[in-house]
């Protein structure tokens, strides 16, 4: 059966490839510059990026250009879609939505560009839920309703080994970065109103991650949830955190451990770990 509503997102959503293919989710790649080389982020191996960052090689990121969205939208039209829902990384972190809106003006069917105010698997779980609703035959209004509930109910937490990379990318202030480095404090950050904000802190990684897990469990309550842990070159600890969350949460529907997108790794730095708790009902 032809799917009436097409779902488009961007590569920062950290959606596993097999899930995207199964649900027909179209993913537009953000761009990454390492040294003098530009590439779609999927073409940059994570170990290579991490080593470049450790060596002090300049790293920069940029949103997809409007033509990247135009061709994805055109493919959806050619496949018979009657509407497109295009859901992307927070506008507080990227100009991706701006590019999407520019392309949408050239498309002959309705294109709803949604600023998720999130990033990573927090965006990804919401997109997956929207795609599942679309695959079940929901109208664009029905899909938007599912998406809105997910986006509003999601908790996103981030642990970083150092605030240096976020400060370089302009995501936090210099004073915050200096404080964390000077006192050897390990921060727990949160996405709040679409931007990165301080949530808690601990001396050492164990205490910081304990606070992050505690917050995630508290926010989830007894409700059914999808849980994701994503990381940048921190796989063993990510699996441990997911196992701990699953042991403490009474109703886990879907659980994912995924290496985060290279774009997010470029901003968070090696040793970063993110936790997502997303409502599954």
Is 272:260 a contact under the CB 8 Å cutoff? Answer: yes
Cβ-Cβ contacts under 8 Å for 114 (sequence gap 6 or more): 85, 86, 87, 88, 97, 144, 147, 151
Confidence label for 160 from pLDDT (cuts 50, 70 and 90): confident
Q: Provide CATH code, domain 155-279.
A: 3.30.1180.10
Confidence label for 80 from pLDDT (cuts 50, 70 and 90): very high
User: What is the average pLDDT across 212-227?
Assistant: 93
User: What is the CATH T-level fold of the domain 5-29+64-152, as seen in this structure?
Assistant: Rossmann fold (3.40.50)
Indicate whether 143 pLDDT > 80: yes
Rounded Cα distance between 18 and 33, Å, is 27
Nearest to 229 by CA among 189, 277, 265: 277
3-state secondary structure of 158: strand
Indicate whether 169 pLDDT > 70: no
Rounded Cα distance between 27 and 249, Å, is 30
Rounded to the nearest integer, the mean pLDDT of the chain is 89
CA geometry: angle 209, 279, 166, nearest 5 deg: 40
Confidence label for 167 from pLDDT (cuts 50, 70 and 90): low
Q: Which residue carries 């920069």 as its tokens?
A: 60
3-state secondary structure of 1: coil
**What pLDDT is attached to residue 166?**
67
Packing angle between helix 66-78 and helix 96-104, nearest 10 degrees?
50
What are the residue ranges spanned by the domains of the chain? 5-29+64-152, 155-279
Instruction: Summarize pLDDT for 101-116 with one digit per residue, the tens.
Output: 999 999 999 999 999 9
CA geometry: angle 213, 219, 225, nearest 5 deg: 90
Whole-structure pTM value: 0.90
């Amino acid at each position: 059966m032809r799917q009436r509503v097409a779902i488009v997102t961007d590569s920062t959503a950290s959606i596993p490839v097999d899930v995207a293919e199964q649900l027909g989710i179209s993913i537009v790649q953000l761009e990454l510059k390492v040294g003098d080389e530009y590439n779609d982020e999927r073409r940059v191996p994570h170990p290579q990026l991490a080593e470049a960052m450790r060596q002090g090689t300049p790293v920069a990121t940029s949103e997809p250009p409007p033509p990247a969205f135009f061709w994805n939208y055109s493919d959806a039209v050619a496949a018979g879609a009657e509407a497109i829902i295009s859901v992307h990384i927070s506008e507080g972190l990227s100009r991706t939505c701006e590019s999407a809106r520019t392309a949408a003006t050239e498309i002959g069917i309705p294109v709803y560009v949604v600023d998720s105010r999130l990033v990573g698997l927090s965006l990804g779980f919401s997109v997956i839920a929207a795609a599942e609703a679309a695959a079940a035959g929901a109208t664009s209004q029905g899909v938007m309703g599912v998406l809105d509930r997910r986006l509003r109910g999601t908790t996103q937490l981030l642990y970083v080994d150092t605030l240096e990379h976020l400060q370089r990318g302009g995501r936090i202030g210099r004073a915050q970065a200096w404080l964390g480095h000077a006192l050897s404090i390990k921060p727990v950050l949160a996405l709040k109103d679409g931007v990165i904000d301080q949530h808690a802190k601990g001396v050492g990684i164990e205490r910081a991650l304990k606070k992050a897990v505690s917050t995630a469990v508290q926010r989830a309550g007894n409700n059914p949830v999808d849980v994701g842990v994503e990381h940048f070159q921190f796989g063993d600890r990510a699996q441990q955190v997911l196992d701990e969350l699953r042991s403490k949460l009474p109703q886990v529907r879907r659980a994912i451990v995924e290496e985060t997108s290279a774009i997010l790794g470029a901003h968070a730095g090696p040793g970063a770990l993110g936790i997502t708790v997303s409502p599954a009902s």
